[in-house]
Structure 1
């Protein structure tokens, strides 16, 4: 049973790390679930460690919604740009991997702002803000998932 839990834990860690790049999957919570499953298998972590990581994951989930919107608003964007960025990332991931993850949000935010009635100059500036926000958010999630994966590996 312990071996099965360790395998499930490892799969959660891998899925969570991949989910840090893919906006459809909640990467950091899945990675954290991997730590919890490993805790059930062999109890390598303290309660404080698990609580601190739960708080970090919760903060990242909140920031996941705030950072892209902040980047867009900071550079004069609207909700059209935010939604365009999200839709562009999803389309980019499925139809143009791996470059679609990078170009999709930028193009999506630009198109979204144009649909919202902005001039092309203002739409491009807003798209850059949304793109920078999504990139920042992705980097935060990858770092957090990477650190949790590190703790998983050293605990085996």
Structure 2
């Protein structure tokens, strides 16, 4: 996706916050970054896993208990995409904007204007930045954060 908003100004390092947010959200979409968001859901996960284990164990022995606990756990475990909760967490993640901006500043100033295109073309750079985003989100929000990188 080509970001159509104004790009950063290379000379005095003024950047468009919206542009940086879109980079974060694009990476979130591409790598399926998900955050365990609802505290009630976390409690329900444990409850459903326990209930599934008990019912499955009663109906089908050990294998039934394992399957029941797994299905119960999955049923109670809700993850929200980064894009879905961005408006709720944006204020808590002010530092993340600057982390991404500083990451992009490492690129040669001549290429800085095309930073998004270069970032998306380089798998290693994308992965490095996504791992940084995942660590930051988990630390700052105090919640479990997963992505297609952490699952693989």
Q: TM-score, normalised by structure 1?
A: 0.32
- Of structures 1 and 2, the larger Rg is shown by 2
Greater strand share, structure number:
2
